[in-house]
A and B are shown apart, each in its own frame.
Chain A
Amino acid sequence: MKNTKEFSIIVGGAAGQGSRKAGLIIAKIFNDLGYNIFIHEDYQSLIKGGHNFSQIRASEKEILSHVGKADFLLALDERTMKEHEKDLAENGTIVFNQDKVKSENGIGIVADTITKELEGLPIMSNTALLGGFAKVVGIDWESLEEVLRKEIGKGIEKNLEIAKKAYDSVSEVLKVDKLKNNPKPLLTGNEALSLGAVKAGLEVYFAYPMTPATGILHYLAEHEKDLNVVVSQLENEIAVAVAAAGSAYSGKRTMAGSSGGGFALMTETISLAAMAEIPLVFVNSQRSGPATGVPTYTGQTDLLFTLASGHGDFLRFVIAPGDVNETCYWSGELMNLAWKYQTPSILLIDKELSESTFSFDENVLDNIQKKEGLLWDGKGEYKRYLNTPDGISPMAFPGQNAIIKATSYEHDEYGLSVEDKENIVMMQEKRMRKFKEMEKEVELLEAVKVYGNIDSKTAVVCWGSTKGAVKEAAEELGLKVIQPIILQPFPIKQFKDALKGVEKLVLIELGALGQMEQVLNSQGIKVDAKVLKYDMRPFTPEELVAKLKNI
């Protein structure tokens, strides 16, 4: 084994066999031992059957992506074996359900037989496989039992019986080292963004189910009491977006989430929020498109669409975090920015960030504070669209002693509809001044990050979830990495600073076109080469090392 402080494990089976749960339990076992965790979930758009797998990576170093090769392959069914035998590293070990899988190599566990003998439910075969695997990697029984008790509610005693029998049926092959680190919370991007938004004051969340954004809806609904939020599922994304605008108008910090197609339906409200100057956060978690595309696979193909979402002349904040900590932080910060500038603001993520599980740094939450927007002082006559020097008008909310008129029409300072030239020009210019302030603001934030060898003349530019694999590959090859996080308004000063000394710029993007090239070109920045992939599976570091070597 290459490094005993790093493990990659694939666990796979048919949908309904519980491979995802098994993956999470394995991750928690390693988490308890002090390892950093990343879990990539690969599943199909179906409920039973098919082929699902989790790819768990546990490492002593910080990791933000999975790797291609697995040290262990845990096969609940024959198909997992067929699909992933090729992914097994040299000297890798197969642990398989001997009742469903035929294999010459590896360690067989009669998972179905054990489950049947002990009168468990068929799905409990995954516990049997887990029990066997834990023994193989030298986890002591007590540690396994603790994690199982935490993760399995119903039927835990039966599960423990099954796990123990499988555990005792095999022998230890190696002993995973315990590290000194404390376990960290394991969060998906969806969960982290939910908590970040709540920390910045989220009060109401609206959504219509759509993969891969559904996890936000589920998570906030599950925790609505503890988080003191309202979670509302409405009839479609059009309703979701405009109800969110209503809620924000009433004074509540509000967010609406979806993925590409659903986000497309929200765009009329993005335009409305720009005109009515309503602070509103949207989440667009991209998946493979166009149209329905490949619903449960990732992609970065909504970039240009998101940057131009909503008709009319206006700027919106578009922020694309690259890992779980950034997703949490920027979700909160975006809420504050939306309220500061009273403008639609979009968190642009993707399936890989939304649904992958990462080790989360709790300190990130301490860096998020709810910041108030500009509020009316209650004096004199209230004008919702007061024409101010910076274009930002004080906010008031229904129930206060004021007449608050929000409108989708061009309007005067009171919010009454107008069609005359003077008022139109005045309001356009008021909004333009606000956009200038937004442009200034992004340069004050950490809008562009740089990693790797900062002296390298070759730099790779990446955005969003590709950060993890790109950073790891670039560090191995001694390249510089430039990651723009705020994509609108574009932080051109910071980006140009990051480009100093760079002679060759390579774009890495998960999509067929490489849309970031157009964004950079529009800022006068040339892209010299592109590494693109459009099988809609995330990059692995090994894959990128191989591709970047040739550039």
Chain B
Amino acid sequence: MEKLETTCPNTWCPGCGNFGVLQAIKMAIEDIVQKGTPRENIVLVSDIGCNSKIADYLNLNSFYSLHGRSIVTGEGIKLGNPDLKVIVFIGDGAALDEGISHLIHAAKRNSDVNVIMHNNRLFALTTGQFTAVSPKGLKGKSTPEGSIEEPLNPLELMLASNASFIARSYSSKFEHLKNLIIDAVNHKGFSFIEVLQPCPSFFNSMELYNKSSYEAVNSELESKEKAMQLIKEWNYNGETKIPLGLFYKKDRMYYEEEMTKHLEKDKEPDIKKCLTTHL
């Protein structure tokens, strides 16, 4: 396979969790292409933020979109050409602050896009401010006394939004993440993978994740109750156990399939027929 790297110099900080995601996605793409998906049918969509630089580092089709808008950009691409495999890279700030409505609606309508949310639990490229998943008390430049807001549990939100594939991984476990990405891409419908990602410059949670995360085994993937139990184990504030893995998966009709089923290939629009209704 033609190389996956571009000539673009990597500007992530040393030790950044994003390197793990980059490694995992490369491995996943190699696998996906090897198993028959044409490389040119893969489209990466990235948002704005440290994580989204990934589009520059991968020699694949990509749309480097606007802040908060990558998920719905991906939905537009998928609706335009349902043959494409769309993988969206987005940070927690973009997914849960700027673009939260798009995240909820993409899950609700079961758009066949795969969302990888790099969760470093703060805005990093703007030098450290709280996001919707920052722990209460996070001291950032906009909250020198500590953030007063409780964090949102993004996976709980996804379950409530009827996302059909919900998972969590950790950037240091790129083999684990790779497998989840492959499963997500193969899943017909919306998939959401949260990737815990330490930010060595502003919020280094590597010690916590190394200590507290564990690979959970879930044999009842279609059970929302079971999923909720796992999702609730960690509340994004404390230092309890943090389960990783696929928490929920349930197939249902996906948006782009339903929305394009009336289309006929190469059919000329019948404007004359429409005009007859105007006489």
What residues of chain A have their CB less than 8 Å away from a CB belonging to chain B? 28, 31, 150, 183-187, 191, 195, 198-199, 203-204, 206, 223-230, 232, 234-236, 238-239, 242-252, 254, 268-269, 272, 276, 360, 362, 365, 397-409, 414-417
B74 contacts A by Cβ under 8 Å: yes
B54-65 vs A, Cβ < 8 Å mask (1 yes, 0 no):
011001111111
Determine whether the beta carbon of B105 is less than 8 Å from that of A249: no
B267 contacts A by Cβ under 8 Å: yes
Known: A249-B80, A252-B80, A398-B81. A224 touches B279 (CB 8 A): no
Determine whether the beta carbon of B79 is less than 8 Å from that of A232: yes
Query: Nearest residue in A to B105 (C-beta to C-beta)?
Result: A235
> How far, in Å, is A470 (CB) from chain B's closest CB?
26
B129 contacts A by Cβ under 8 Å: no
Query: Nearest residue in B to A272 (C-beta to C-beta)?
Result: B66
Known: A398-B81, A408-B64. A360 touches B269 (CB 8 A): no
B273 contacts A by Cβ under 8 Å: yes
Which parts of B257-279 form the interface with A (CB within 8 Å)?
Answer: 259-260, 262-264, 267-271, 273-275, 278-279
Bound Cα distance A403, B84 (Å): 14
Query: Nearest residue in B to A31 (C-beta to C-beta)?
Result: B279
Bound Cα distance A174, B63 (Å): 66
Partner of A416, one of B6, B75, B262, B278: B6
Query: Nearest residue in B to A242 (C-beta to C-beta)?
Result: B69
Please report the total number of B residues contacting A with Cβ < 8 Å. Answer: 52
> How far, in Å, is A336 (CB) from chain B's closest CB?
16
Contact partners of B65 in chain A: CB under 8 A: 242, 245-246, 272, 408
Contact partners of B56 in chain A: CB under 8 A: 416-417
Known: A227-B270, A235-B101, A407-B63. A242 touches B73 (CB 8 A): yes
| A-B CB pair tally, cutoff 8 Å | 173
Determine whether the beta carbon of A250 is less than 8 Å from that of B76: yes
Which parts of B138-189 form the interface with A (CB within 8 Å)?
Answer: none
Known: A198-B269, A252-B80, A272-B66. A245 touches B102 (CB 8 A): no
Known: A223-B274, A228-B269, A416-B56. A407 touches B64 (CB 8 A): yes
Determine whether the beta carbon of B262 is less than 8 Å from that of A398: no
Bound Cα distance A249, B84 (Å): 12
B53 contacts A by Cβ under 8 Å: yes
Determine whether the beta carbon of A227 is less than 8 Å from that of B61: no
Bound Cα distance A191, B48 (Å): 38
Bound Cα distance A269, B67 (Å): 11
Contact partners of A403 in chain B: CB under 8 A: 59-61
B50 contacts A by Cβ under 8 Å: no
Contact partners of B53 in chain A: CB under 8 A: 417
B216-248 vs A, Cβ < 8 Å mask (1 yes, 0 no):
000000000000000000000000000000000
Determine whether the beta carbon of A268 is less than 8 Å from that of B66: yes
Partner of A399, one of B40, B78, B275: B40
> DSSP majority for the A interface?
mixed
* Best-surrounded residue of B8, B83, B269 (most CB of chain A within 10 A): B269
B213 contacts A by Cβ under 8 Å: no
Known: A204-B79, A243-B75. A398 touches B7 (CB 8 A): no
Determine whether the beta carbon of B271 is less than 8 Å from that of A195: yes
Given known contacts A223-B274, A399-B83, what 11 new A-B pairs fall within 8 Å (CB)? A195-B271, A234-B72, A238-B72, A246-B75, A246-B78, A247-B80, A252-B81, A272-B65, A362-B275, A397-B81, A417-B53
Contact partners of B96 in chain A: CB under 8 A: none
* Best-surrounded residue of B60, B64, B267, B268 (most CB of chain A within 10 A): B64
Bound Cα distance A238, B75 (Å): 13
Contact partners of A402 in chain B: CB under 8 A: 40
Partner of A227, one of B8, B76, B269, B279: B269
* Best-surrounded residue of A232, A362, A397 (most CB of chain B within 10 A): A232
* Best-surrounded residue of B55, B63, B275 (most CB of chain A within 10 A): B63
Known: A198-B271, A246-B74, A247-B76. A404 touches B278 (CB 8 A): no
> How far, in Å, is A136 (CB) from chain B's closest CB?
24
B41 contacts A by Cβ under 8 Å: yes
Bound Cα distance A336, B8 (Å): 34
Query: Nearest residue in B to A359 (C-beta to C-beta)?
Result: B278
15 sampled A-B residue pairs with Cβ under 8 A: A195-B275, A203-B80, A225-B262, A226-B269, A230-B259, A246-B63, A250-B80, A254-B76, A268-B69, A360-B278, A399-B41, A403-B59, A406-B63, A407-B62, A408-B65
Query: Nearest residue in B to A271 (C-beta to C-beta)?
Result: B66
Determine whether the beta carbon of A191 is less than 8 Å from that of B61: no
Determine whether the beta carbon of A250 is less than 8 Å from that of B84: yes
> How far, in Å, is A223 (CB) from chain B's closest CB?
5
> How far, in Å, is B213 (CB) from chain A's closest CB?
32
Bound Cα distance A376, B27 (Å): 30
Bound Cα distance A239, B271 (Å): 29
Bound Cα distance A185, B65 (Å): 42
Contact partners of B72 in chain A: CB under 8 A: 234-235, 238-239, 242-243, 246
Determine whether the beta carbon of B40 is less than 8 Å from that of A250: no
Known: A235-B102, A246-B63. A227 touches B79 (CB 8 A): no
B22 contacts A by Cβ under 8 Å: no
Determine whether the beta carbon of A227 is less than 8 Å from that of B80: no
Determine whether the beta carbon of B279 is less than 8 Å from that of A229: no
Contact partners of B279 in chain A: CB under 8 A: 28, 31, 150, 183-186
Contact partners of B40 in chain A: CB under 8 A: 398-402
Bound Cα distance A31, B279 (Å): 8
Known: A398-B84, A417-B8. A229 touches B75 (CB 8 A): no
> How far, in Å, is B172 (CB) from chain A's closest CB?
26
Query: Nearest residue in A to B269 (C-beta to C-beta)?
Result: A227
> How far, in Å, is B94 (CB) from chain A's closest CB?
12
> How far, in Å, is A197 (CB) from chain B's closest CB?
10
Determine whether the beta carbon of B66 is less than 8 Å from that of A242: yes
Known: A185-B278, A234-B72, A417-B56. A247 touches B101 (CB 8 A): no
Known: A234-B105, A250-B84, A399-B40. A244 touches B270 (CB 8 A): no
Bound Cα distance A502, B43 (Å): 56
Bound Cα distance A408, B65 (Å): 6
Determine whether the beta carbon of A249 is less than 8 Å from that of B77: yes
Bound Cα distance A191, B69 (Å): 30
* Best-surrounded residue of B7, B41, B260, B270 (most CB of chain A within 10 A): B270
Listed from nearest, the 7 A-B pairs whose CB atoms lie closest are A246-B76, A250-B80, A243-B76, A247-B80, A185-B278, A407-B64, A252-B80
Contact partners of B69 in chain A: CB under 8 A: 238-239, 242, 268-269
Determine whether the beta carbon of B80 is less than 8 Å from that of A254: yes
